[in-house]
Structure 1
Amino acid sequence: MEVELMKKYLFIVLLVGVCFGQEIEWFISYNGSGEESMGHFIIECEDGGFLQVGETYFFSDPVSTKLYVVKTNSDGSKIWDNEIYIGGHNLGNSILESTDGYLIFGGLNQNSSIIKLHKDNGAVIFNKSYDNGGTDAFENGVETLNGIVAVGYNNSEDPYNAFYTEGEGFISFLDHEGNEVTSFSIVDYISQAYRIKYFDNELYISGLTEEALDYKMIKMSIEGDIIWHYEYGGFGSDHCFAMDMNEQGEIFLAGHTTSNTENWDVYTIKLNNEGEVIWENKTGNPRGFNPLYIHDEAWGVHATNDGGCVTVAGTGDEYAEYSECIGDICSDIWNAYIIKYDSDGLITWEETFSPLDIGIENYDWAAEDIDLTSDGGAIIAVDNGQFGFLKLNNIQNNENNNSYSIEGRWIIPVAENDPGNTMYEFFDGLRYTYYCSDENGCDSTYWNSLDTSDAIPNPNPYTFSNDTLTLNLFFGNTWQQPITFECDGNVAAIGDTTVTWWLSWWRVGYDINECGGQELALTNTAKHPKAFKLIQNYPNPFNPATSILYDIPNDGLVNITIYDMMGRIVKTLVNGSQTAGFKSVQWNATNDRNEPVSAGLYLYTIQGGEYRQTKKMVLLK
């Protein structure tokens, strides 16, 4: 994708949004000495910080670049950066953390290069370049007991692209100091080698076939002998740029395709260890524009601990003759696009992220790469004209984390289908309790916190064990019952009785990813929200009604409006002055004339002062 020229600046936003359960923890971006910078690869480091590599660009004729690398701490604050270059065209393609440094694979002056940097300051330990023929570069590498294996390509026909295309596959075996042991062409098997993994003393290489027509996968012995090689794709173009493996040796490939699609769509494949397809999935156009004009371009994938994976992409259009807007969301403003697949290839969730999610003016974002983080979240490399670092929570259940979270709002009924009069909120590591005593009955419009002291159980009701949170609730101090929640938010049991009717338990602000949070502490302090917050409607999908919750930190004017996917107003739910608090409103699937609306995808937007956010919901019939 193309991005506009941007002034160099440093920008950081903390704790800014929740989208389908995936919370933006923070975003920050850095630029090199060029007019723009673009990152291609990102990792979480062993010290908990993050490292991103790519290039900084100078828009001369021809365009020139310097390899650029940025190291941050765990909250995104920059520790060091480094620019490395020989001549006018240099590439930073990927990173590998070694025991005593960071290995950078790329190209310097159009030659294949491997560079080792000090972890503490980014200083160069060694810098080795090899002319492997024509315009060439290393794309990726792994460490083995014998040294380093790097893959890439030579004889590229497009030397000034951000990544070389129309090349010839190439592999190099190096010692631990980056010195060449042996190298040879693998063009008979792969045209452009982008990724390599080392598993069970064997090498797995992915990339593209000649003319970038299909995905390609190779299994090779550590001695360099081909064990098997397969192609994947259809009759269109299939561009494979990403690969990962899980602990079982299953393989995930990702990129984009025009095979049996209306334009470029995200194309993700899962293979077994012998290269046989387990599943494949094509998806795209998450914002609902005209699919004939939308590009969904995937560049990164990471296996998750549930047998699935997360693929990251950019979504937007690049056509002068087409531009479409739905509210403040426009097709020609690119978004970062994140898709989570389960072990069977079904989409668990998908979401787009843009500057609007952090409350700033909209401009292009595209996700370039992803690494999962030790806290159950992810760090994503975002192309925003700079090196964007996007930290998300709740990407996968973190099996190594001993504390769990059921963040959100719950109304626990006294009996089946009896909603009760007590609401519990779990937020920011704290538990808040709200009590409704309205004689006409309690519904979502009453849950705006006042004095909550009489509703708080005593003693501390929380017990953490493996995947569940057991909560002993007191109703009027006369009845006590342990409630067990699964990590996905479902109620599993009341006492010793297994629950099969959990949907009758109203969980407000339902979040599909529950593990990996902070252990909750007990408090009896009522609160007002710290910031505006629009919570995903629940239930979703829904029929015939759904509840929308939102937080208002200050008194002021608030508007909540439902739109169809053409951007037309369907229903204005809220339009007036409201006091600060935790609010909710119900939509009964009617328009402003109180006529039932058809099933489908709808948008709902909140506007309060300068804050504006939009989410999606699905009406079933």
Structure 2
Amino acid sequence: MDWRWNAVCTDTLAQRDPQITTDGAGGAIIAWRDGRNGNDDIFAQRINSLGNVLWTSNGVAICNADESQWDPQLATDGSSGAIIAWQDSRSNYWDVYAQRIDADSVVQWASDGAEISTAAGNQDEPQITSDGDGGAIITWQDNRSDADYDTFACRINDYLVPTLLRSCFASYEEPAITITWTLSEIDVGIRFSILRKQLPQETFRKIQNPVIEQSGLFFICADRSCRPGSTYLYRVEVQYEETRRFLFETDPICVPVTFISLNQNYPNPSNPGTTMTFTLPEKAQVNLSVYNMEGKLVRTLVNESMDGGLKEITWDGRNNQGNPVGSGIYLYRLKAGNRILMKKMVHLKWSLPRC
């Protein structure tokens, strides 16, 4: 015995159900169920051949999502890291999630893990083994049919891309961002979801009713709603029957500004405030003002030099003297350099209800 009884984690509350796999360098990676935050989460630690911990004291958080995460299972990724799978109740049912962590304790996939199976019913008691090529094969028991449990399995590579993805690409060509992908195989009934995130926002939002064209195993989708001066990320998910899974995510794509534009304010009608957005192709002296229908100036919102890009300005429904204006139709006028653009908006004066 070279060493014994070395502490891997001694944090508060309970640490249970440890599982272990080799790190391929004489040491090991250990994952366990951890109660330090109140709910059960998944933590992990790497130790070397002498039993010394190599990562943060008391372990690295693999998942601390809402509700409970149980039954961690792990397999080596062949690069001194590991792929960890567990059953997860954040949806109030048991699902299967996974995370890859590299040799330096950096998680590689989505925060709090990536969905492996979130079908109806429960998916639990996952098991995992290395595929010998940096990925893993995960299996679990599954009662999505509301009858007896069945057994399902999924193979993922080291980037969490199902092996059916052959290639993917995204680019901007006026007037749209185009996303393309090619599969190595396809099943009848397969469907895709396109999600978009406008940086620096942190949340992906599903594009409603995207037009996806198919030619054999090749797919293409064009997003014509992108705004000049904005940067976007896209995520494509594949769904078959009741199972939805991450397929790929694009690099950030910047939409260049080639012209001045003034967008419709939102909300419209305003009550009590509203937001106006516009784009500039380059640095310019900008004046954005609100006028009444008689052409009289109500409020100067911007009067300064601004760099090119997408701009967002809020009007609080007050005039230059700080007083609320009455309900009615107003004009907002953008002057940038020698270009002038104007739009109408409806303002509803906000008032407290009478008792």
Match of 1:236 in 2: 13
Match of 1:428 in 2: none
What TM-score, normalized by structure 2, do the two folds share?
0.50
1:301 maps to 2:74: yes
Match of 1:256 in 2: 33
Does the Cα contact within 8 Å between 2:177 and 2:226 map onto a contact in 1? no
Equivalence map 1:170-569=2 (5 Å): 220=1, 227-231=3-7, 232-259=9-36, 261-279=37-55, 280-284=59-63, 291=66, 294-316=67-89, 331-349=91-109, 350-354=113-117, 356=119, 362-384=120-142, 386=149, 388-395=151-158, 407-410=166-169, 441=174, 443-445=176-178, 532-534=190-192, 543=199
The DSSP-based 3-state class of the residue aligned with 2:54 is strand
Q: Distance in 2 between matches of 1:407 and 1:256?
A: 36
What TM-score, normalized by structure 1, do the two folds share?
0.31
Does the Cα contact within 8 Å between 1:335 and 1:364 map onto a contact in 2? yes
Shift of 1:301: 1.4
Select the structure of larger CA radius of gyration.
Answer: 2
Q: Distance in 1 between matches of 2:29 and 2:186?
A: 44
After superposition, the Cα gap between the structure-2 partners of 1:613 and 1:388, relative to the gap in structure 1 and judged at 3 Å, is closer
Match of 1:105 in 2: none
Letter in 2 for 1:311: I
Shift of 1:336: 0.7
Shift of 1:545: 9.7
Shift of 1:604: 8.5
Letter in 2 for 1:281: V
Does the Cα contact within 8 Å between 2:142 and 2:152 map onto a contact in 1? no
Letter in 1 for 2:71: A
Shift of 1:352: 1.6
Equivalence map 1:28-39=2 (5 Å): none
Does the Cα contact within 8 Å between 1:304 and 1:310 map onto a contact in 2? yes
The DSSP-based 3-state class of the residue aligned with 2:21 is strand
Tell me the alpha carbon deviations over residues 181-239 of structure 1, each in whole angstroms, 9 at most, x when there is no partner.
xxxxxxxxxxxxxxxxxxxxxxxxxxxxxxxxxxxxxxx36xxxxx3212223011011
Letter in 2 for 1:284: C
Q: Distance in 2 between matches of 1:303 and 1:612?
A: 26
After superposition, the Cα gap between the structure-2 partners of 1:387 and 1:373, relative to the gap in structure 1 and judged at 3 Å, is farther
Q: Distance in 1 between matches of 2:30 and 2:79?
A: 17
Over aligned residue pairs, what C-alpha RMSD do you find?
4.9
Shift of 1:256: 0.9
> How many matched pairs?
231
Q: Distance in 2 between matches of 1:572 and 1:533?
A: 14
The DSSP-based 3-state class of the residue aligned with 1:228 is coil
Letter in 2 for 1:584: C
Equivalence map 1:5-24=2 (5 Å): none
Does the Cα contact within 8 Å between 1:378 and 1:392 map onto a contact in 2? yes
User: Please, which runs of 5 or more residues in structure 1 have no aligned partner?
Assistant: 1-219, 222-226, 318-330, 357-361, 398-403, 413-418, 421-440, 448-507, 511-516, 519-526, 547-563, 591-595
